[in-house]
Amino acid sequence: FDDYLTYYRSTTICKIHDDYLFNSVSGTHKNGQYSIFSLEVDAPTKGFLTANQIQQRIMSIKYQNYETSETNFILAKVLENGDLEFIEGTSGAFEGLNMEFPDILQPGKYLIFVEVDWLFSGLEEITLNSYTEKQVHLE
């Protein structure tokens, strides 16, 4: 068990859907700022979003005390009048912070706000993945 913990910080159980589609986009921001991503949904869809940081086992080679940073992650729908409707939010200090859509997402435009409280300067890249039943457009 101890040898496992030496090489793996966590264990993840993945939900596999052979028919789901994967998209990925990256962004950068400094402490006190955040990244905004756009999600266009053309047809009702189920799915997940994941905000990924660089893995600890890779970064611990360069930074002996490397830890993943606290991430805040919000999904909001853009309404016809331009207002935002909160859909889901989560936070945590995980290499891959997951958000499952609470309900089927209806067609429309959504914004995804990702804020990371970076513990190490120079590490300012976050990668956002979508894994959805129907094709979506992630930017």
Query: What digits encode the pLDDT tens for the residues 53-87?
Result: 766 656 666 667 767 778 899 999 999 999 999 99
Q: What mean pLDDT is predicted for residues 114-139?
A: 87
Q: How far apart are CA 88 and CA 97, in angstroms?
A: 13
pLDDT score recorded for residue 126 = 86
Answer whether residue 128 shows pLDDT above 80: yes
Q: How far apart are CA 78 and CA 106, in angstroms?
A: 11
User: Higher model confidence: residue 124 or residue 72?
Assistant: 72
Q: How far apart are CA 120 and CA 65, in angstroms?
A: 10
User: Higher model confidence: residue 13 or residue 23?
Assistant: 23
Q: Which two three-digit tokens encode residue 114?
A: 């990702």
Q: Measure Cα distances from 100 to 45, 103, 119 in Å.
A: 11, 9, 26
H-run or E-run covering 76: strand 70-78
User: Higher model confidence: residue 77 or residue 7?
Assistant: 77
Residues 6+ positions from 132 with CB-CB distance below 8 Å: 20, 21, 23, 45, 46, 47, 48
The answer to whether 56 and 69 are in contact (CB under 8 A) is no
CA 64 to chain centroid, in Å, comes to: 25
User: Higher model confidence: residue 111 or residue 14?
Assistant: 111
Question: If pLDDT is split at 50, 70 and 90, which confidence band does 113 have?
Answer: very high
pLDDT score recorded for residue 96 = 77
Answer whether residue 88 shows pLDDT above 70: yes
User: Residue written as tokens 């959805």?
Assistant: 132
What is the pairing mode between strands 108-117 and 96-100?
Answer: unpaired
